[in-house]
Structure 1
Amino acid sequence: MLREPSDAAGEAGAPEAESIRDKIIEELQTVYDPEIPVDIYALGLIYDVSVDTEGKAAIRMTLTTPMCPAAEMLPPEVETKARAVPGVTRVELDLVWDPPWSPAMMSEAAKLDLGMV
């Protein structure tokens, strides 16, 4: 899966940075695509979350399509949720289209919830 910690998160090695990363992911699991009843993390829209030892969070994400109706609301909601996590000093959000999202990126639980398995 694409959601493994980036090298920057791994190099930081600080337990606090890893704990902050985990809390950010928990928060992102409360964000839902309005057209699909699955959180954006399980949906596979979050490609990477890393936190450095100074609390800077870097999030790489995509949307289901470039013309996604939620394009104006999801990225700001992701930034807001990440900023609210104690210990986060800054959030850099990178909205990417490569690799393009596909249903194969969804978690098994999400596929099951949507009747895809």
Structure 2
Amino acid sequence: MNTQTASSDLRERVIDALRSVFDPEIPVNIYDLGLVYQLDVDAETGHVTIHMTLTAPGCPVAQTFPGTVEECVNDVEGVSAAHVELVWDPPWTRERMSEAALLQLGML
């Protein structure tokens, strides 16, 4: 398997894992909710870096949620280390949500 294919496969497995993590206040996964702003996957080293936000800066899980996401991604086969960084710029808006998330919440 070439490096690009391996990277693409690992990236898809990481995205699948992110889709299994749900926002604590909205019944939609964090990926389709648009909370993941940047996803860097290095298939050679297995390192994954995620820049994500929360729906509101005052979210009660702001201290613990990055660790929850890291644990989930670390469980993906091929991942050796995951790092999640919370970012607040740009602020999250519903425009970041996928069409599937909008449909799920009856917003389309």
Q: Same fold (TM over 0.5)?
A: yes
Aligned residue number for residue 29 of structure 2: 39
Deviation digits for residues 6-60 of structure 1 (CA, Å, limit 9, x no counterpart): xxxxxxx532122111101101101111211111111000112121121111111
Alignment map for 1:73-112 (pairs within 5 Å): 73-112=64-103
Amino acid of the residue matched to residue 35 of structure 2?
L
Alignment map for 1:1-117 (pairs within 5 Å): 14-52=4-42, 53-117=44-108
Q: Which has the higher helix share?
A: 1
CA distance, structure 1, for counterparts of residue 41 and residue 25 of structure 2: 29
Q: Calculate the aligned-residue CA RMSD, in Å.
A: 1.3
CA distance, structure 1, for counterparts of residue 53 and residue 28 of structure 2: 15
Contact 1:50/1:58 (8 A) holds in 2: yes
* Structure 1 ranges of 4+ moved more than 6 A: none
Q: Provide TM-score, normalisation by structure 2.
A: 0.89
CA positional deviation for 1:73: 3.4
Number of equivalenced pairs: 105
Gaps spanning 5+ residues in structure 1: where? 1-12
CA distance, structure 2, for counterparts of residue 106 and residue 44 of structure 1: 5
CA distance, structure 2, for counterparts of residue 91 and residue 34 of structure 1: 21
Question: Tell me, what secondary structure is at the counterpart of 1:65?
Answer: coil
CA positional deviation for 1:74: 2.1
